[in-house]
A and B are shown apart, each in its own frame.
Chain A
Amino acid sequence: MFGKSWRRLAPLAVLPALLLAACGGSGDSSSDGGSSSDTIKVGLLHSLSGTMAISEVTVRDSELLAIEQINAKGGVLGKKLVPVVEDGASDWPTFAEKAQKLISQDKVATVFGGWTSASRKAMLPVFERNKSLLWYPVQYEGLEQSPYIFYTGATTNQQIVPALDYLKEQGKKKIFLVGSDYVFPRTANKIIKAYAGANGMDVLGEEYLPLGSTEVSTIVNKIQQAKPDFVFNTLNGDSNVAFFKQLKSAGIGPDQIPTMSVSIAEEEVKAIGAEYLSGQYVAWNYYQTTDTPANTEFVKAFKAKYGSDKVTSDPMEAGYNAVNLWAAAVAKAGTTEVEAVKKAAGGISLDLPEGKVTIDGPTQHVYKTARIGLIGADGQIKSIWDSGSPIKPDPYLKGAEYPWAKGLSS
């Protein structure tokens, strides 16, 4: 009798210990911001397992490379950086949980992490509550500006809008939208439709595929019937493979109906197969072929560390940038303390693989050059058009040059 009830109560006995640990954690976290006498801890939080691992592992690799390079040059504030790597497991609540763990248990100075918008949205309240910093390295749908997140990937006016500008310049008028059924494609398509309406373009169709679905033939048939000038593709993950295979077997090549993709970079081209993608367009801010001295060095260092068959891509470069920008901000602030780093970060400008990258203080996004790329038969992407100079980030599209975007941010 006693034994039975004891067993039932046993878990309760652990509770006080847990509470103590939690209080202890939050009590200490503000004191030293992850720095001890000769090291600074930083967190890397990406999916190392599950469906997103294919993409996120590569970002972690480039962030580790940046940390290694910084340490080789003597570290930050004379202290070595120590990465604490956690696995978000492609599961959004896990991202929030691991972020909390990095902040209160490991007491990291900052976290670099995330890929999908869903994982960012899950982590956002954690960082705001703890007044801790997250550096998010992937292009996204905009309409967000957290005081505790720095966005080193493109927002819409640095990727999607320039892509539409380019297509308009080419005289393409009839567009067809294809995307995966979740927040990024739906928000992106809302923006695209507003742009199209104001610029005399016709949206002939808007189709969504459940994430992971490979039954794309009906959508391809609809594209075939609608005969658009181009397809704007915001599909994510495996669906892209099925989509481009089906386009090919339906006899729709880039000569007939070209596609413009915003989620396919070098790594994905390698996975899908260049033979299905050559001649198609993509929109990013960086390609492995981008011609800057910093990029030559970045590609060389990456291949030396991870193997000569590896490719570099836009999100990897943005992750690499994030680490370098944070280190520069800490050096300027003279401390890893979050508010001081935030204040110091505005206006910091570095020569990085994609060119000159400057942090915009008020939005905590970065200036980025938009580049339209053409996929070659060798799987590499060549820039065929760029915006000339870095574009000022405008996550809510409030600028005077985007009059058509009024009402999107509400």
Chain B
Amino acid sequence: MIRYLSSRLFVFIIAFFLLTVFTFSLNFFFPGDPVTNMTGVRTFSDYYPVISEIRGADKNIAFQYINYMQNLLSGNWGASLSSGDYVFEHTYQHLFASLELIVGALVLAVLIGVPSGIFAATQFRGPIDKGVISLAMAGYSIPVFWLAQLLILFFAVKLDWLPITGQINPLYGIAPQSGSILIDIVISDSDYKAAALQDALNHLILPVIILSIMPMMLLLRLMRNATQDMLQKPYVKAARARGLNEFQVLIKHAVPNATQSVLQQVPLIFSLLLSNSIVIESIFNWPGIGNWLVRAIFERDFPVIQACVLIIALTILLFNLVVDLYRGWRFPIVRQE
């Protein structure tokens, strides 16, 4: 396990290093001055010569990279070119707002996708299985922004059950602190906490459901195929021969092994979820990382673009690491590769 752990950590560190090299080189690819792109200090500012001296703009590239890394690790991510705010201070608020959606969608996808996948596997090639699988195929072929439009039109406009955009009705006056609206409400000193919480949940429902559809359907298909594969293995036959009932065979023997192969695909699903969240946040005007990134691209706000790219990619790398470590810990066969 220690060998496995260290090898995975090593891979993570190398990937992180390559990622920072990439974001560092983005400063030179973006139009304009590299130091401005890094720090958000414009060339005509009085402060520019000082900053340029500190960042070593005239020194060699290795020195500049080391300097960049020092600033990156100490949380000095520069200032936004459009608003002048310090980027780092705002990054975690946007990140938490995004995570609220993403975690919600992921939990929903796992809670519904995995059991129905297992259920479909027990009905293999039956009418229910075929129905579920066709539904899943449709579910992950549907363009996520079109699905969002349809559901908004139906639930928010026609039926008027749910609000259309935003995190919460601004009249509740909840000040953003952590960025995640549910946490903010709990730690705020508002008199109407229960009502605010309900309003926030109403705002959450639609984006979370839309975001969860695609990963849910992918998980369903993967789980169904993997469980079906396992149910044909001799060891399942042996378990049945020992007199276990169908449910015990499924839960104790087939499903744990099926999970192993499904887990391998989970990082892929997660990165799909993240790229969908960029679109969904823009549609629902959710103050998350994806929405921030799209706005920054419109405004050509390079320090912010960089921060968003770094954070999104880092989230994915960390998620990969966690899934990998869990697989290694839970399934010894993975460690022996």
Do chains A and B stick together as partners?
Answer: no
Binding site for B on A (CB under 8 A): none
